[in-house]
Structure 1
Amino acid sequence: MPLHELTCAACHARYTILVGMTAAADSPACPRCGAEHGVRRISRFARGHASADVPSDNPSDPASMRAWADAVQSETGERLGDEFDEYIDSAERGKEAGTE
């Protein structure tokens, strides 16, 4: 059964729906705002990865996590978001201040 990725025309939230092979192509209401119209997005396909693709450094080290995030963002062309950036910035400041 295919997954369809949509963007809400009202609040721009992204959401995914599971559509049966014989189901109508109508889009359900946005889970965030309830708007009735979603615009289909061109989505990427999933791929498996080797253990070499996973960061082997210390995952609790903010610098290693930022390097991993930069690699993911570069490969996919999509940002992980402002909240993630703020989290890493905060972790790096904490490490610099010796509060780790």
Structure 2
Amino acid sequence: MHNCCGAIDGKNIRIRCPNQSGSSFFNSKGYFSIVLQAVADAYHRFRIVRVGSCGRSADSGVFSNSQLGINMRTGNTPFPRSVDRLPGSEKESQFFFIGDNA
């Protein structure tokens, strides 16, 4: 996909309940976990990886609190900010990430 900077998603990684953690690591799927969130490029390479958020955190919350999420809100990213013309077209398109509805 032209102008796509990467695909982003999160995955719950099953863990044993940490001592004195209460329900922070208990996810909606019914087990204790931490969240791994990653961005992969078109060549199947991980470009950004974040691991360790509490399992009960939603993907959107993990992203919002990640350095990438903070940098995107402040406009401080290494990704292109300008628009680019699509091949064979005069239409311009911004750069973007793809992901699920989280």
Same structural fold, with TM-score higher than 0.5 when normalized by the shorter chain: no
Task: State the TM-score, normalized to the length of structure 1.
Answer: 0.24
Q: Is the strand fraction higher in 1 or 2?
A: 2
**Higher relative CO (CA 8 A, sep ≥ 6), structure 1 or 2?**
2
- Which has the larger helix fraction? 1
TM-score (structure 2 length as normaliser): 0.24
